Amino acid sequence: MSHAAARNSRSKVLTSDATWIIIHLLYERGLGAEATPARRSHLELLTTRPLETTLVWSDRELDSLRSSRWYDIAMQRRRQMSADFRALASELGSEVLVKLGLDEAGYAWARAVLEEFG
């Protein structure tokens, strides 16, 4: 990640604090039982409580917002999250993505966690 940020210091996605936190969450989650007990406990808390952000709402749940500006905002945020992941994936390359265990679903989960808990 540091190498990619150094290579492209103008990349918003690579220099974003949120990206670094997301990568850290996913890295720790990927460690599983090898993560420190404190990290495992923290991750358990994050995965046992359902997230409430519209980033993780199902299409059916989002339909309840249809015809409102909130639906449009939620859909735009989803598209932006996907675009951010694609930009990050492009910057890091497939080898690094595999090494980190980073995919779009994991990125979406970590981003939703970050959004919900700050």
pLDDT digits (tens, 9 = 90+) for 38-70: 998 988 888 888 888 898 899 999 999 999 999
CA distances from 40 to 32, 43, 47, 112 (A): 7, 5, 10, 18
pLDDT of residue 1: 54
pLDDT digits (tens, 9 = 90+) for 21-40: 998 899 888 888 998 999 98
Question: Global pTM?
Answer: 0.81
